[in-house]
């Protein structure tokens, strides 16, 4: 007898009555049992969002057939995946290690369902860190427009080559071109070192110090052409004090950045992040 | 045309496949649309828990009939209520005002769906506070076993008389008798002034100071005959310092107590708190 | 024998060696014992800040004489007060009750060393709340420029009349004129219902919802002519969710506002808030 | 000209008037300028605690002479160190990597002023992690009383050999013998995977799950012969949910453990942790 598989099913469609009954019927038909379910109806966009975990001994094909007929009727965008399958993830990095270290450490510890076939950097500094985790590392200088264009072509090539499902900017200190942003829409996550929308742009810890804020933070968001304006996935803050220098704020901030980015990546890898216009729905 | 009502449906039953489909079918049959849904399958007890919000123009009788047939089949315990209906709540109090003040202030502000037909106290101190909120106040001294028994009889009488659905111990400084605990099982909430299971019993802030903890907290829990051991509904903590006296810990703690109790009461009033053995399921 | 008084001494001066020794010498000379001491040297402005608590049986005059000679030598701005003396505080309010309720509740509970000789409002709604606390309440409509000017004249008159040391804008929904801001510089505190510098201006909870932030907050700051740009005293945040409406954000936010404002007022009343250019030094 | 050194001076003595003036006088005499100062008078033990940072071009000998005369007079225990000097730290570990990884990563990143001449473990699992940071690693099995005694002798030998100032138990899963606890008193820090005093002993995450707590935490404390009862240095918590298994609590908990232990070690290395009976004074 075939043993049961744990599936994740996510679906998005225009909101109307009967969706839950229809989809749960399809799951019953496919011999499945719903073990987790979350839903949300957006008043802003009139959209219905759902994430299900289903235990089922049925194979993928039968499951897909059952869902597809309902999906058609309700105009659903949907995705079916196996719980725990590691998401193929490309990491872009520069010189600071904390965000990359946290991602790779948790991946190795079995806490983050991703696999990283490549780290692409514009500096050589983090090669040892990648090597320690057994992750291929490649770097190219990005000092002028030609090198930048070449680097971005290499990103797209690597996405193709490795079947990349998510691109993570782990403190990659370059602004992506509008073309690359568009090509990676909805599958590239950046960590911004401030509590957005406060302190956009460069040097947020210096700005935070100058303004004398009492909490500093970090924001993980989708990459869009509007710099620092992409849909927010996760944010965290920590309390700070008048006697902390911009450098100390930076050190505290790096912890928040790592934690926030890793959490956002984990949620994305578990299909817990869905887009509702300029906002995200997070099914935790 | 009859306008739509917003319903809350909670149900608890042994876990097995098909429950979601069956119940969503009953809701479709009753002309309802599910606007919020949360579920949980407990591995510990094999129990399935669900909370739904449903928009429906159908009257209560038709809705109940549709649910009842499914409930029978699956052995469900269930409850149907209207969103926002104020829960009839009896508050027990002693001399400290903060917890009662927070409950009554939020009730008046429309943030807490309860109505309080009576505050019962063993001291007269809080009469003015109740009066300001227009809430009847009654007090009886509890200095010996006879007075205690009389007070507890008065509690049960008031529960009967006012159709009380929830009893809140807002820093009521008396231990309830086993008989009263049993009579109010699952519908009496206490606030304990420590982060349980640390510092059970009396004088937790003094204990916390002596032990030199760096965070102090409060715990809202169901009242059971096992003192300070009832299922936990909500907990919060705040950071403290070596230079804070037990008195200062108490002042900080009172804020945490108020916030924690009010939140627990609000969740209970919205049918978000379900019992899973010695633990609670909180559908936030 | 004269019993000991607990004093608070705050001082600000250009930073240079020897200040601590000089001031502690003056305190020894005045028969005092330092029980608490905090200091900070600002690299930004080259300023030295100190807050001392001193136990001393010496009268005020002798203490002041001892400090004054040192103060002269080091160019100090300084202030001597008795621990726990209630600060004379004027509260401005409009229609929402939460911030005023928290201030008055804590003042009554002995947790906030202020006295409130008057609440001045531009609406009558909060009269009952003030009456319950035994605080005089006065209101005048502010619907046009003349009424606004009259209201502001009344504020300054009340400041004079009652020897006001602090003006608190407890969700007072009017922008103060530059003249009034200047007159109250360094002694007027506002609560802004966002985590500044994000979401300045009106309707921050609506903005926060539209932007899909994952934490909302509040900021207590000094009033300056630069709207929402005054030195920040305290900030707090709470986690929110995609499924919370702007109205729910507002309800959550009001708690944060109350807590944040009350804390800022308490610190100010205990002389724990000092100004370092556009930033504050908070000696907690 | 000799450039200025930044010193940390900590001192503990019976509380009495005049200490601040005396010590600040000694610092003035030694040509120093106080840049940071924190003090605390314990009502519980009648002890005075102080931590100063001093900028001075004077050499160590002159500084020590100046302090020593005052120290004698007031019965002070004192310590003088250079800001930023890495503390010689021995780490004990077993099989779980998270706490050791965090310590070594931050040490490398320049955020933790320690140097680690040796990691001693009772399992070989973490050898690669130590190697990646260039830290010597040594392991010996501890499966019976003889091996345990030998391991503990090796600890004391290593302490001697490397001039160890701090021993960190980074999830070292063995109870130290009373003899070793005594030998390392006041210079060994352990991380306990619960929010003490709740859930002492083994398997705290299982206990936390069974009890249904809403927050889990970790506690960094000094090692004493009273298991899990040593003076607390730091504690942190995170919110958890009914639907998280003991395994998920463990994963969340490991983050809290790492953060909490690293912070406690950092404070100790900066001489910010002083003992006041069973409590700690933390000068942050």
pLDDT digits (tens, 9 = 90+) for A168-199: 999 999 999 999 999 999 999 999 988 888 88
Residue B202 · residue B238 · CB < 8 Å: no
Rounded CA-CA distance D139/D150 in Å is 12
- Check if A228 is active-site: yes
* Strand A188-192 to A166-169 pairing: parallel
Confidence (pLDDT) at A198: 84
Of the candidates B36, B109, B132, the beta carbon closest to that of C97 is on B109
C256: closest chain B residue by CA: B259
* E strands in D15-103: 32-42, 47-56, 77-82, 87-93
Rounded CA-CA distance B258/B193 in Å is 10
Query: Which among D212, D215, D192 has a CA at the least distance from the CA of D202?
Result: D192
What single DSSP character describes residue D146?
Answer: H
Is pLDDT above 70 for B87?
Answer: yes
What's the rounded mean pLDDT across residues C76-101? 97
Rounded CA-CA distance A186/A178 in Å is 14
Query: Which among D279, D69, C7 has a CA at the least distance from the CA of B246?
Result: D279
Give residue C1's pLDDT band: very low, low, confident or very high (50, 70, 90): very low
Alpha-carbon distance C227 to nearest alpha carbon in chain A (angstroms): 14
Structure tokens belonging to residue D185: 């008193």
To which H or E segment does residue A3 belong? none
* Strand A33-42 to C77-82 pairing: unpaired
Of the candidates B40, B235, B279, the beta carbon closest to that of D215 is on B235
Rounded CA-CA distance B148/A108 in Å is 60
Instruction: For CA atoms A191, A193, A199, A200, give the dihedral sign.
Output: negative
Reduced 3-state DSSP string for chain B: CCCCEEEEEEEEEECCCCHHHHHHHHHHHCCCEEEEEEEEEECCCCEEEEEEEEEECCCHHHHHHHHHHHHHHHCCEEEEEECCCCEEEEEEECCCCHHHHHHHHHHHCCCCCEEEEEEEECCCCCHHHHHHCCCCEEECCCCCHHHHHHHHHHHHHHHHHCCCCEEEECCCCCCCCHHHHHHCCCCEEEEECCCCCCCCCCCHHHHHHHHCCCEEEEEEEECCCCCCCCCEEEEEEEECCCCCCHHHHHHHHHHHHHHHHHHHHHHHHCCCEEEECCEEEECC
Distance of CA D281 to the CA centre of its chain: 12
What's the rounded mean pLDDT across residues B74-90? 97
Question: Which chain A residues are Cβ-neighbours of C242 within 8 angstroms?
Answer: 40, 276, 279-282
Residue to substitute from C192, C208, C209, C215, interface A, most A β-carbons within 10 A:
C215
Question: Which chain D residues are Cβ-neighbours of B279 within 8 angstroms?
Answer: 210-212, 242
Is pLDDT above 60 for B2?
Answer: no
Give residue C108's pLDDT band: very low, low, confident or very high (50, 70, 90): very high
Structure tokens belonging to residue A239: 């309390």
Which of C15, C43, C102, C228 is catalytic? The answer is C228
Rounded CA-CA distance C232/A266 in Å is 35
Question: Which chain B residues are Cβ-neighbours of A11 within 8 angstroms?
Answer: none
Residue to substitute from A99, A105, A110, A262, interface D, most D β-carbons within 10 A:
A105
Residue D9 · residue D52 · CB < 8 Å: yes
Question: Which chain B residues are Cβ-neighbours of D215 within 8 angstroms?
Answer: 195, 217, 235-237
B/e letters for A60-79, b = 16+ CB within 10 Å, e = fewer, are eeebeebbeebbeebebebe
Confidence (pLDDT) at A4: 82
CA torsion C141-C142-C144-C148 (nearest 10°) is 130
- For residue A227, give the 3-state DSSP assignment: coil
Confidence (pLDDT) at D196: 81
* E strands in C103-244: 114-121, 137-139, 166-169, 188-192, 215-222, 232-239
Dmax (CA) of chain B: 66
Rounded CA-CA distance C164/C110 in Å is 20
* Strand D77-82 to D5-14 pairing: antiparallel
DSSP A141-203: ---SHHHHHHHHHHHHHHHHHTT--EEEESS--SPPPHHHHHHTTTSEEEEESS-TTSS-SS-
Alpha-carbon distance C46 to nearest alpha carbon in chain D (angstroms): 12
- For residue A78, give the 3-state DSSP assignment: strand
Neighbours of chain A (3+ CB pairs under 8 A): B, C, D
Q: Judge whether A276 is closer than 8 Å to chain C, CB to CB.
A: yes
Rounded CA-CA distance A50/A281 in Å is 10
CA distances from A87 to A116, A160, A234, B103 (A): 8, 14, 19, 47
Q: Judge whether D196 is closer than 8 Å to chain B, CB to CB.
A: yes
Is pLDDT above 80 for B96?
Answer: yes
C199: closest chain A residue by CA: A197
Of the candidates D21, D32, D38, the beta carbon closest to that of C24 is on D21
Q: Give the residue with greater pLDDT, B269 vs B1.
A: B269
Dmax (CA) of chain A: 66
Rounded CA-CA distance D130/D100 in Å is 8
Confidence (pLDDT) at D92: 98
Q: Judge whether C144 is closer than 8 Å to chain D, CB to CB.
A: no
Task: Identify the weakest region by mean pLDDT among A203-212, D44-53, D97-106.
Answer: A203-212
Structure tokens belonging to residue B71: 């409930």
Query: Which among B133, B140, B98 has a CA at the least distance from the CA of B115?
Result: B133
What's the rounded mean pLDDT across residues D190-205? 86
Mean pLDDT, chain D, rounded, equals 94
Confidence (pLDDT) at A195: 86
Q: Which residues contact A160 (CB under 8 A, 6 or more apart)?
A: none
Rounded CA-CA distance D163/D173 in Å is 24
- For residue D157, give the 3-state DSSP assignment: helix
Neighbours of chain B (3+ CB pairs under 8 A): A, C, D
Give residue D215's pLDDT band: very low, low, confident or very high (50, 70, 90): very high
* Spans of all domains in chain A: 5-82, 88-282
C15: closest chain D residue by CA: D35
- For residue A1, give the 3-state DSSP assignment: coil
Is pLDDT above 70 for C217?
Answer: yes
What's the rounded mean pLDDT across residues D99-109? 94
- Tell me which residues of D are annotated as active site: 228
Q: Judge whether A20 is closer than 8 Å to chain B, CB to CB.
A: yes
Residue C22 · residue C67 · CB < 8 Å: no
Question: Which chain A residues are Cβ-neighbours of C281 within 8 angstroms?
Answer: 242-243
Q: Judge whether D109 is closer than 8 Å to chain A, CB to CB.
A: yes
Contact map slice: B 228-247 vs D, CB within 8 A: 231-237, 241-243, 245
The predicted-structure confidence for D72-93, as pLDDT tens digits, reads as follows: 999 999 999 999 999 999 999 9
Which of A228, A241, A255, A276 is catalytic? The answer is A228
Is pLDDT above 80 for D3?
Answer: no
* Strand B279-282 to A166-169 pairing: unpaired
Give the side-chain half-sphere CA count within 13 A for D252.
Answer: 21
Distance of CA C120 to the CA centre of its chain: 17
Q: Judge whether C215 is closer than 8 Å to chain B, CB to CB.
A: no
Residue labelled with tokens 């004093």: C7
CATH level 3 topology of D5-82: Alpha-Beta Plaits (3.30.70)
CA distances from B144 to B122, B149, C66 (A): 12, 9, 59
Q: Which residues contact C144 (CB under 8 A, 6 or more apart)?
A: none
Question: Which chain B residues are Cβ-neighbours of D231 within 8 angstroms?
Answer: 212
Of the candidates C97, C132, C243, the beta carbon closest to that of B132 is on C132
Whether D5-82 shares its CATH topology with D88-282 is answered no
pTM, 2 dp: 0.93
Confidence (pLDDT) at B1: 39
Q: How many CB pairs under 8 A join C and D?
A: 45
Question: Which chain D residues are Cβ-neighbours of B243 within 8 angstroms?
Answer: 40, 281
Question: Which chain D residues are Cβ-neighbours of B233 within 8 angstroms?
Answer: 214
Which of B29, B146, B226, B228 is catalytic? The answer is B228
C97: closest chain B residue by CA: B109
Residue to substitute from B4, B7, B18, interface A, most A β-carbons within 10 A:
B18
Give residue B50's pLDDT band: very low, low, confident or very high (50, 70, 90): very high
Residue labelled with tokens 């001693």: D120
- For residue C107, give the 3-state DSSP assignment: helix
Of the candidates B198, B217, B235, the beta carbon closest to that of D197 is on B198
A48: closest chain B residue by CA: B35
Query: Which among B89, B270, B267, B86 has a CA at the least distance from the CA of B170?
Result: B89
Q: Do A232 and C243 count as a contact with CB atoms less than 8 A apart?
A: no
Distance of CA D162 to the CA centre of its chain: 17
Distance of CA D198 to the CA centre of its chain: 21
Give residue D226's pLDDT band: very low, low, confident or very high (50, 70, 90): confident
Q: Which residues contact B55 (CB under 8 A, 6 or more apart)?
A: B4, B5, B6, B7, B32, B33, B35
Q: Which residues contact A157 (CB under 8 A, 6 or more apart)?
A: none
Give the side-chain half-sphere CA count within 13 A for D52.
Answer: 24
To which H or E segment does residue A212 belong? none
What is the percent of chain D where pLDDT is above 90? 81
Q: Judge whether A48 is closer than 8 Å to chain C, CB to CB.
A: no
Question: Which chain D residues are Cβ-neighbours of B212 within 8 angstroms?
Answer: 231-232, 276, 278-280
In DSSP terms, which residues pair with A48 in a beta bridge? Answer: A13, A41
ipTM over 0.90: yes
What's the rounded mean pLDDT across residues B195-211? 85
Rounded CA-CA distance C23/C54 in Å is 12
Query: Which among D219, D192, D189, D212 has a CA at the least distance from the CA of D203?
Result: D192
Confidence (pLDDT) at D1: 39
Rounded CA-CA distance D171/D174 in Å is 9
Structure tokens belonging to residue D165: 């100032």
CATH level 3 topology of D88-282: Rossmann fold (3.40.50)
Structure tokens belonging to residue B173: 């400084």
Give residue A1's pLDDT band: very low, low, confident or very high (50, 70, 90): very low
- For residue A83, give the 3-state DSSP assignment: coil
The predicted-structure confidence for A83-119, as pLDDT tens digits, reads as follows: 999 999 999 999 999 999 999 999 998 999 999 999 9
Alpha-carbon distance C17 to nearest alpha carbon in chain D (angstroms): 5
What's the rounded mean pLDDT across residues B227-255? 92
Question: Which chain D residues are Cβ-neighbours of C21 within 8 angstroms?
Answer: 21, 24-25, 27-28
Query: Which among A193, A284, A197 has a CA at the least distance from the CA of A246?
Result: A193
Rounded CA-CA distance C126/C138 in Å is 10
Give residue B268's pLDDT band: very low, low, confident or very high (50, 70, 90): very high
């Amino acid at each position: 007898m075939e043993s049961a598989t744990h599936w994740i099913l996510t679906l998005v469609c225009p909101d109307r009555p009967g969706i839950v009954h229809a989809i749960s019927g399809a799951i019953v038909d496919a011999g499945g049992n719903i073990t987790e379910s979350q839903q949300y109806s957006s008043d802003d966009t009139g959209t219905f969002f759902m994430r299900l975990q289903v235990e089922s001994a049925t194979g993928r094909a039968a499951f897909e057939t059952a869902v597809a007929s309902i999906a058609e009727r309700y105009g659903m965008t949907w995705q079916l995946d196996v719980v725990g399958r590691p998401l193929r993830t490309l990491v872009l990095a520069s010189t600071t290690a904390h965000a990359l270290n946290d991602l790779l450490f948790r991946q190795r510890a079995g806490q983050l369902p991703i696999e990283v076939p490549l780290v692409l950097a514009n500096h050589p500094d983090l090669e040892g860190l990648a090597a320690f985790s057994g992750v291929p590392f490649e770097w190219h200088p990005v000092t002028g427009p030609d090198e930048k264009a070449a680097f971005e072509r290499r990103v797209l090539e690597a996405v193709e080559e490795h079947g990349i499902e998510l691109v993570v900017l782990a403190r990659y200190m370059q602004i992506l071109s509008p073309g690359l942003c568009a090509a990676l829409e909805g599958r590239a996550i950046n960590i911004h070192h401030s509590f957005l929308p406060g302190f956009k742009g460069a040097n947020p810890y210096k700005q935070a110090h100058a303004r004398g804020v009492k909490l500093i933070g970090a924001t993980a968001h989708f990459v869009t052409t509007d710099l620092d304006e992409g849909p927010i996935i996760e944010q965290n803050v920590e309390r700070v004090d008048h006697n902390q220098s911009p450098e100390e704020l930076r050190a505290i901030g790096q912890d928040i950045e790592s934690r926030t980015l890793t959490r956002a990546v984990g949620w994305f890898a578990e299909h817990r992040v869905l887009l509702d216009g300029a906002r995200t729905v997070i099914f935790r």
